Amino acid sequence: MQQSQQISTLSEEKKNLNKKVTLAAQLDATNIWIEPKNKRDKKAKKAKDIQKFTIGFTLVKNITAETGERTLYINIYKPNNDVLTKSADNTFSYENRTLPYSIKKYVEYNGEEQSVTVYWNVDEYLSAGKYRVDIFAEGTLIGSQDFTLE
């Protein structure tokens, strides 16, 4: 009886350690910045002047994370929480549901800190208000940043 109790306890400990390793191996995006640009590629303050968003962030160093090609999904949320997307077919899986994405970016992750920059050409009407950028990798939200347009 005592042996089966020990096996059960060890099995539970192993499961918890596996969870910790999985969490430790996830990518993490920091230093997220969003720069709205006008048609002259200068920083724009007003929603009506914006032609493009430049979005940058840092994937932090992680010696536990697997190296190799990774697919990142970047979502730009309008003030009404709709995602800016070029096509209804641009989707990915997140927490057992399908989400639209704004930008899909392939990166070669080498375990070291690396900067990533992506661009969004504005083809739609943008209203003033609070926007948000979310960054996803391997079905996990790895970073988020709010910004406001006048």
- 16-70 residue pLDDT tens: 655 655 555 688 898 999 999 999 999 988 889 999 999 999 999 887 788 889 9
State residue 19's pLDDT score. 60
- Beta-carbon contacts of 85 under 8 Å, excluding residues fewer than 6 positions away, are 100, 101, 102
Domain boundaries, the chain: 27-149
If one counts every other C-beta atom within 10 angstroms of the C-beta of residue 137, the result is 21
- 98-128 residue pLDDT tens: 999 999 999 999 989 999 999 999 999 999 9
Distance, CA of 145 to CA of 132 (rounded, Å): 6
CATH code for the part of the protein at 27-149: 2.60.40.10
State residue 23's pLDDT score. 53
- Beta-carbon contacts of 74 under 8 Å, excluding residues fewer than 6 positions away, are 55, 101, 102, 103, 104, 105, 118, 133, 134, 135, 136
Whole-structure pTM over 0.85, yes or no? no
